[in-house]
Amino acid sequence: MSFILYLGKVITPTILTIAVIYGLIEKKNVFELFLKGIVDGEKIIIKLFPTLLALLVAVGMLNSSGIIEFISNKIIDIFPFIKVYKELLPFILLRPISGSTSSAIGTDLMQKFGVDSSLGILVSLIMGSTETTIYVVSVYGSKIGKKNMKPVLILGLLGDLICVLSSILYFNLFY
C-alpha cells in the first residue's frame, strides 16, 4: 500500500519532467507551447460554460423541487418489486445527469447504511459501471456543434439502464 501512495505522489512531477525533457530534446519552446495550451483551454472553457451552467441549474432545480422523489415514488407504484431499492432510485435517476450530485447522494447512502451494506455495494457497482450520459452528450454536442444528438443520448441512456440492471443482477447473484 505504501508503494501506491508513493507512486501517487511522484507520478505527476515525473510526467511533467519527462514532457519538459522531451520538448528540450526536440528543440521546442516548451514554455510557449505551455502558454498556447492554456489559451486554447481557456477558449474551450468559455465555449462550454453556458452548457455547464445550464446543467448545474437544472440539477439544482430537480433536487430542490422534489420531482426526483415524486418520480421515484411513481416508479415504485408502477413497479412494486423495485421497493427494495427505493433509497437507490434518486441516485439512479440523477447519475446520468450529474456526477457530483450522484456522488453526493451515494456518499449520503454510504454514510447512512455503511459502505459494506447492500446499498453501499450497489452504489459502488452502479457508480463504477455507469456514465454521466446527459452531461457528456451535452458537453461534447456543444463542442462539436452537432444539433441532432438524440440517437447518441438514447443509446447512452440505454447503456446506463443496462449497466444499472447488470449491477443489481451481479449483486443479487454474488452477494
Count of residues for the chain? Answer: 175
The predicted pLDDT at position 1 comes to 60
List of long-range contacts for 96-99, beta carbons under 8 Å, 24+ apart: 96/130, 96/131, 96/132, 96/133, 96/134, 96/135, 96/156, 96/157, 96/160, 97/55, 97/58, 97/59, 97/62, 97/132, 97/134, 97/135, 98/55, 98/56, 98/59, 98/132, 98/135, 99/132, 99/135
- Return per-residue pLDDT of the chain as tens, 175 residues: 688 788 888 998 999 899 889 988 998 898 898 899 889 988 888 887 887 788 778 877 877 888 888 888 888 888 877 777 788 888 998 899 888 888 888 888 899 999 899 899 999 999 999 998 988 888 888 777 777 888 888 999 999 999 999 998 898 888 8
Q: What is the pTM of this model?
A: 0.66
The predicted pLDDT at position 143 comes to 74
The predicted pLDDT at position 60 comes to 77
The predicted pLDDT at position 72 comes to 85
Cβ atoms of 89 and 82 closer than 8 Å: yes
- Give every CB contact of residue 63 below 8 A, 6+ residues apart in sequence: 94, 101
